[in-house]
Amino acid sequence: MPDQPSTPPSSGQRPLEGVLVADFSRVLAGPLATMTLADLGARVVKVERPGTGDDTRSWGPPFSATGATYFESVNRNKESVCLDLADPADRGLARDLALRADVLVENFKPGGLAKLGLGYEELATENPGLVYASISGFGSAAGAALPGYDFIVQALGGLMSITGDAGGSPYKAGVALVDVLTAKDATIGILAALNARAATGRGSRLEVNLLSSLQGALANQAQAWLGAGVVPGRMGNAHPSIVPYQLLDCADGPLAVACGNDGQFARLTEVLGVPKLAADARFATNSARVQHRGELIPLLEQALSAAGAQVWQDKLTGAGVPAGHVATIAEGLDYAEALGLDPVIEVQDGSGHSVGRQVRHPVSWTPPLPARTQAPPALGEHTDSVKAWLRG
């Protein structure tokens, strides 16, 4: 276990400098968690199958000039070493890596690594400071044998039941949202365990599963059932408890409008030229608007039909009413850039040449952290150097 710093990291030091992560994960949730640790300064050694590597190396198109964009999205700032865990010699090297590591992240089927002599209990006897994070679909109890795919968890966990048009088909989110949420939960747990280890000298066994992460993120929708016995359903882009908080049709397309309080609604009606709506008893308060949603929305859309979405966005934003047209991902990144958020970084190969762009780690630090911009590794790119280090 590396010495723990006695003072906060300076602008020249990343907060996880000196932390070694053994990454036995693949696909999305695990790799995103370990990439976050790498962005914060940890050394991440990614263990991959010889020949094929992480499943997502072949998940395409689309492909960039250097590989599958799916793989590249969650694997920068790592070293790739190919080890065949069925081979005793390679398995021994994997064990050596785990015994040197501060953190181990894996998403094998529950108990899978333990059968290879790489389970927490066995490793912790020799490496008591190890933080061992296991990621699964449905936990290690009755759901241990169930395959953990984001899409299936969105279905079984309830997210799809509230996503889509009212009376229409259920939909998944447009990104593997449950995997992303699970990655963030795993990262939070790992950072908390490292903090606890600084005080106790002992590591921890963490278990994170996709179903629990999804349900932890259902927030008000889950509490509607638990607290009031209400089973939420699909409402398209409408909100169950706030009106208007949805897409509204303009002359040339939809506009997202989010009135979180009565003052914003009053300003909306002023801009639209229908101030009498804010004084109407049916619409004067949010609770009333929720009850009379079906009457209000057509009146708002009638007023919005006088101009295009961008015109209304500019007018409403200027009046302090949250509003925005439906942008593409490319437009969204351009918008973030225009706001000075610097959403994109250039990643570089080992020679320092730019090989592409990626979305940066979303946390900004003061004082700023030195950026890590190592491109995602080629399969087995660091096998020789890592093996030499482990044998040294």
Instruction: Please list, residue by residue across 78-101, b when 16 or more beta carbons sit within 10 angstroms of its beta carbon and e when fewer do.
Output: bbbbbbebeeeebbebbbebbbeb
Which residue from 98, 31, 40, 13 is spatially nearest to 68, judged by alpha carbons?
31
Residue 139 corresponds to which tokens in the numbers above?
């936990």
d(CA 51, CA 70): 18
**Angle in degrees, CA 138, 142, 146, rounded to 5:** 45
Cβ contacts of 208 within 8 Å, gap of 6 or more? 29, 133, 134, 135, 136, 182, 185, 186, 189
Q: Reply yes or no on whether 179 is catalytic.
A: yes
Beta bridge partners of 122: none
Cβ contacts of 189 within 8 Å, gap of 6 or more? 133, 206, 208
d(CA 237, CA 44): 40
Indicate which residue of 179, 249, 334, 342 is catalytic.
179
d(CA 79, CA 64): 19
d(CA 55, CA 187): 22
Query: 129 vs 121, 123, 340, 358, CA distance in Å?
Result: 12, 10, 41, 33
List the catalytic residues.
179
